[in-house]
Every structure is written in structure tokens, then in C-alpha cells.
Amino acid sequence: MNFNELWYGIIPFPITKSFIKHRTESKLLEPLGIYPRNLELSNIPLDECISFMPYCAKPNNCPLNKKYTRKSQKCLRLMGKECNIKCSIKETINVLFDNGFTSDRIFIIDRDSNLFPWLEQKHLQGYNYFFAGFGCYYGVAYALSIVMKIGFKGGLAGFVEGNYCRTMKDYMGMEEGDKGRNTEITPQSIESLKKAFSYKIE
């Protein structure tokens, strides 16, 4: 366990949740938030943005589960195929696609140990912001500390709802296997993401 993991592990969950929401609060785009808080949405160049979201927001009936398991980076929409089930990841990806994102700029987090090298690679390719970086509160707290060290300048963060991890032990246990937690990117978050893009277009 490194220092970041230890630090977030000893902070009680309610404090972590309040701290992260305070660091990303944006009345304009609730429940999404801008990080850092003083970053102007209009100053985020979309062609320098990547996006990420957690595998735990996949439904249990994902058509790819039998072949790849739910804990994977695989997604029919990212593979350029249609998906006919209700899925908040699919809906979020559709919004990103509608606004110029391509599959190589979107990452479904199966493990942080896979996400962070991907972020480093994307930063080297010229991507400096995240636009719709979703996770649980522990995940977002941890990711923000990493992305800023990598060199990202900030972006738009969101929080999944549902049966998300509420202790660092749970969160770190998710690194090795699917513990069966089910979360979702809420309809309110998806609508706020659409709003964020509309502000950018204006």
C-alpha cells in the first residue's frame, strides 16, 4: 500500500465524500463537478480530453459478461457495435460519441493499475484534461491525486451511485476481483454531461 492509498484508507468515508464534493463542486453542472474548482469550463479544449468510468457501472446482464467477465475494459459501444440493454455506461459513451469522442479516448476502468498507465500514455499523446471522469468517491479522490501528478490540468468529474465502495479495504479489494457491487452513472449525471457539452458548443 503506497502513501496515497494509506491516506485515503484512514479518512472516514463521510469526510472523504464531503472533501471530494467540496473540491469539485459546481452549481452549474450538479451532480458533476469541475476540478480544480477555479477551472473555467470554457477553457477546457475538448480535443485534449479523455474520459473514464468504472466497470462496476456495467449491468449484470451485459452481453459481453460470459466472454470477458464484467470486470473488463470491453464494451460493445467501444467496439463499434450496437447494445440493446439498459446500461448507464452505454448512455454515457453515446453522449461522448455524439460530441466527437472516439473509442481510444474512453477507458472503462477494470483496475487502477491499468488505468494509470493508460492516462500516462494519453498525456504523452497530448491529452491534458478529463471530461467525464467517473468513479466512486474513493476512486475519484485517489484518481485526482494521480492525474495531477501525471500532468493533467483538470476537468469534469462525476460520481457513480448505488452499491459503491465505502471503505478503502473494499475499494482496494476491487483491484483483484469483481466483488459484485453494482453502481450506475445516474440519469441526472448524464443530463449534466449533455449540458456541459452544450456550454462548450456555445
Instruction: Outline where DSSP puts E strands in the chain.
Output: 33-35, 49-54, 106-109, 129-135, 154-159, 161-162, 183-184
pLDDT at residue 22, rounded to an integer: 77
pLDDT at 127: 98
pTM above 0.85, yes or no: yes
**C-alpha R_g of the chain:** 16
Cell numbers 464484467 correspond to 70
* pLDDT the model gives residue 202: 47
Please report, in tens digits, the pLDDT of each residue of the chain (202 residues total): 455 555 555 677 777 778 787 788 788 899 999 999 899 998 999 999 999 999 999 999 999 988 998 999 999 999 999 999 999 999 999 999 999 999 999 999 999 899 999 999 999 999 999 999 999 988 888 888 889 899 999 999 999 999 998 877 787 777 778 888 999 999 999 999 999 999 865 4
In sequence order, the 6+-apart residues with CB closer than 8 A to the CB of 172 are 1, 5, 9
**CA dist., res. 101 & res. 163, Å (int):** 29
CA 137 – CA 13 distance, rounded (Å): 8
What is the pLDDT at residue 201? 52
Report pLDDT for 4.
55
Q: What is the predicted pLDDT for the residue at 14?
A: 75
Give the pLDDT confidence score for residue 161 in this predicted structure: 96
pLDDT for the residue 159: 94
